[in-house]
Amino acid sequence: MAAFQLNEKTALITGGASGIGKAIATVFAHQGASVYILDFNKEQGKQIADELSQQGFSATFEFCDVADEKQVVELVDRISENTKIDILVNNAGVAHVGNIENTTEADFDRIYSINIKGVFNCSKAVIKHMKGKSGVILNMASIAASVGISDRFAYSMSKGAVLTMTYSIAKDYITEGIRCNCISPARVHTPFVDGFIAKNYPDNQEEMFEKLSQTQPLGRMGKPEEIANLALYLASDEASFITGSDFPIDGGFIKLNG
């Protein structure tokens, strides 16, 4: 029997319309899961769901603002009326560059509402449907939750919260059949990275891309598919003995830098 199958499982993936979320939705669908792509971007989310459906996989797009508790609860309750929710991947998030002095209150509130409150809203909404049955909650943290990174004050704050929320959920619901873990990527080559470089370094994009790649000991950025494959393992029955853990996937950044 092939390993890491998600047949007859339903997975909700927030931020599933691009980057790492898109890769997770694609890998999960290919491994047999019925995936719900939850995202704020209607056009991209629907396009990905349609592409997967046309390939014969089960994929549905649902508009979702993870910062809106009422909307999240209504959506999760509606999905749960027709299917058992087996997996939640809290992937939706936004980045911010800046130290504490040049982080505005608006910046801070935006990071909090999506990166922290979004995880809270979605986890709380699914837990009531998973309790006493089984379920997997997988959160997307970051190496910024564990090590100091320059000019990432608000972002690091939010990912530190994601890490500790993971520990708390795992501890509180271990007897309810719910596993909760998180993944901590280093820099991953996503459309966000390309956009950041194009905006801030328009005249030397290739040079800056190489410089950012070399900040990791392996000498390159991660690929979204590599993060998705780790997520697949942690969501699968093969990882049934794992809960309350953080999994860095960082090209050696945490242990080998410095």
* pLDDT tens, N- to C-terminus, the chain (258 residues): 589 999 999 999 999 999 999 999 999 999 999 999 999 999 999 999 999 999 999 999 999 999 999 999 999 999 999 999 999 999 999 999 999 999 999 999 999 999 999 999 999 999 999 999 999 999 999 999 999 999 999 999 999 999 999 999 999 999 999 999 999 999 999 988 888 889 888 999 999 999 989 989 999 999 999 999 999 999 999 999 999 999 999 999 999 985
pTM reported for the whole predicted model: 0.96
Instruction: Kindly report each contact of residues 193-201 with a partner whose C-beta sits within 8 Å and lies 24 or more positions away, as own/partner.
Output: 193/221, 196/95, 196/97
Q: Is 173 a catalytic residue?
A: no
**Rounded to an integer, what distance in angstroms lies between the CA atom of residue 10 and that of residue 152?**
34
Contacts of 248 (CB under 8 A, 6+ apart): 143, 146, 184, 185, 186, 254
Q: Which of 155, 167, 173, 233 is catalytic?
A: 155
